[in-house]
């Protein structure tokens, strides 16, 4: 193939189409537990998270809730995946080797939010959220009282009764959270998230009629099971409330993943090394939103 502008345009248009098709078909699960927050600058301020919006009876003047003196910002990061195309491969019509790379670049770009949100969960026991506490912690403060969204009990198939008790305690903790006026937030957990090592236990807890010890399962149908292969702990598990407009985690997007290319034959990279390039670029980050809507258990006890 003659390497000229027309042929280069056709080659990289084909690669872009392959990239976009793979992007559109790639599975993604981040939106089940995280909310998309558009970003218009290098970072977003999440001080507003200190207020959990809730209607109250209007008696006299409206009560204006002031933002708490918390400072929580999420800074956007740059992301990329780049592939080099050798000019010889274009001249020799040897372009089939780049289609899988374009597919993987598209697949990876679509799953970038999954990676970001999963990293949030993997580090949620040691990373702080808007109130200055670890996202999963035993002493979040609400109206001067300590509130916990942290557990340590194992979700083990070998101890069916203990697993059910641990899961039940997590449900109770989320449903018991109140606002700063002492009113229940009305949260109902609906998503159990586990690593692959706990998939069978999770299925038994929320999908089967009976527990591992053959006793009746009182929690069948109480949550949807999400198995997340990006969770790094084999024991930690999470319970989330995801049915509201807001969610426990934030995927902050400054620039959505998109296909980019470098095809100018006059660039140094082509002239000196005979290499064209294509790939994906994005600007995004993740953050912690409402700890009230999620319960994390280390599964160590």
Give 230-286 pLDDT, tens digit per residue: 999 999 999 999 999 999 999 999 999 999 998 888 888 888 888 999 999 999 999
Residue 242: per-residue pLDDT: 97
How many beta carbons lie within 10 A of that of residue 67, not counting itself? 10
Q: Which residues pair with 81 in a beta bridge?
A: 280
With a cut of 50, say whether residue 64 has pLDDT above it: no
What is the torsional sign of CA 187, 131, 121, 250? positive
Tell me the CATH architecture of domain 5-297.
Alpha-Beta Complex (3.90)
Segment 99-103 mean pLDDT: 95
Other beta carbons less than 10 A from residue 179's beta carbon: 18
196-211 pLDDT, tens digit each: 999 999 999 999 998 8
Paired residues of 178 in beta bridges: 184
Spatial distance between the Cα atoms of 26 and 104, rounded to a whole number of angstroms: 10
Q: Above pLDDT 90, what percent of the chain? A: 67
Q: What is the pLDDT of residues 20-39, one digit of tens each?
A: 999 999 999 999 999 999 99
Unique residue bearing structure tokens 């996202």: 135
Q: What are the residue boundaries of the structural domains of the chain, listed by start? A: 5-297
CA distance linking residue 220 with residue 44, whole number of Å: 40
- The predicted pLDDT at position 59 comes to 52
CA gap 86, 11 in Å, rounded: 12
Both tokens of residue 112?
């970038």
Distance separating alpha carbons of residues 89 and 223, to the nearest angstrom: 52
Helix axes 99-110, 5-25, angle to 10 degrees: 40
Given a cut of 80, whether residue 137 has pLDDT beyond it is yes
What whole-number distance in Å separates Cα of residue 38 and Cα of residue 34? 13
What pLDDT was estimated at residue 158?
60
Which CB contacts under 8 angstroms, 24+ apart, belong to 165-170? 166/297, 167/192, 167/205, 167/219, 167/239, 168/218, 168/219, 170/239, 170/295, 170/297
């Amino acid at each position: 193939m003659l390497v000229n502008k027309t042929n280069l345009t056709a080659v990289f248009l084909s690669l872009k189409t392959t990239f976009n098709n793979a992007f559109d078909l790639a599975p993604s699960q981040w939106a089940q537990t995280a909310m998309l927050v558009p970003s218009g600058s290098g970072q977003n301020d999440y001080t507003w998270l200190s207020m959990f919006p809730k209607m109250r009876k209007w008696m006299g003047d409206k009560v204006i809730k002031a933002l708490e003196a918390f400072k929580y910002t999420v800074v956007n990061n740059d992301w990329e995946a780049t592939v080099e195309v050798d000019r010889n491969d274009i001249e020799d019509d040897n372009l089939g080797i780049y289609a899988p790379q374009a597919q993987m670049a598209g697949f990876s770009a679509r799953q970038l939010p999954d990676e970001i949100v999963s990293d949030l969960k993997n580090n949620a026991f040691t990373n702080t959220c808007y109130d200055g506490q670890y996202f999963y912690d035993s002493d979040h403060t609400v109206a001067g009282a300590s509130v916990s969204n942290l557990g340590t009990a194992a979700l083990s198939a070998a101890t069916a009764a203990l697993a059910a008790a641990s899961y039940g305690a997590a449900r109770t903790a989320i449903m018991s959270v109140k606002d700063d006026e002492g009113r229940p937030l009305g949260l109902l957990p609906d998503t159990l998230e586990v690593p692959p090592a706990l998939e069978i236990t999770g299925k038994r807890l929320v999908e089967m009629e009976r527990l591992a010890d053959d006793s009746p399962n009182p929690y069948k149908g109480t949550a949807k099971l999400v198995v997340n292969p990006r969770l790094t702990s084999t024991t930690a598990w999470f319970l989330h409330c995801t049915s509201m407009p807001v969610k426990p985690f934030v995927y902050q997007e400054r620039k959505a993943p998109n296909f980019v290319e470098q095809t100018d034959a006059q660039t140094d990279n082509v002239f000196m090394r005979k290499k064209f390039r294509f790939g994906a670029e994005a600007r995004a980050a993740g953050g912690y939103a409402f700890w009230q809507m999620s319960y994390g258990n280390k599964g160590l006890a």
